[in-house]
Amino acid sequence: QVQLVESGGGLVQPGGSLRLSCTSSEFTLDDYNIGWFRQAPEKEREGVSCISSRDSITYYSDSVKGRFTISRDNAKNTVYLQMNSLEPEDSAGYYCATVVIGCAYATRNSIGFGSWGQGTQVTVSS
């Protein structure tokens, strides 16, 4: 099982930015499709973004397209989620995960997540 560690969450005002990081000390993340999903209390899991293995093609949910950017730094074995123009509706626990199906399908249907970490909390509030 791939062990992933997320970091970078916090409290930010509406319109602000955060950058989340996802890394693994044991596995090469470029060997996997890596996705971010979020989950808020009493809400369903929502696939947010995904980056494919090797060719790093990116995918986004409609709710974050144009505001969030997913990227890889293979030298650091890290996947990032840059989140700009944050809104209160973005508040949730954010998790990075291996994606065991295609990125596009996983992001669109919020399924296909394999291993994920403990998550990092994002709170957008004034």
Phi, psi of 65 (to 5 degrees): -60, 130
Residue 67: how many other CB atoms lie within 10 Å: 15
The partner residues of 18 in beta bridges, in order of sequence, read 83
Ranges assigned E (strand) in 40-119: 46-51, 58-60, 68-73, 78-83, 92-99, 113-116
Q: How far apart are CA 9 and CA 96, in angstroms?
A: 12
Phi, psi of 70 (to 5 degrees): -100, 145
Query: Tens digit of pLDDT per residue, the chain (126 long)?
Result: 778 999 999 999 999 999 999 999 999 999 999 999 999 999 999 999 999 998 999 999 999 999 999 999 999 999 999 999 999 999 999 999 999 999 999 999 999 999 999 999 999 999
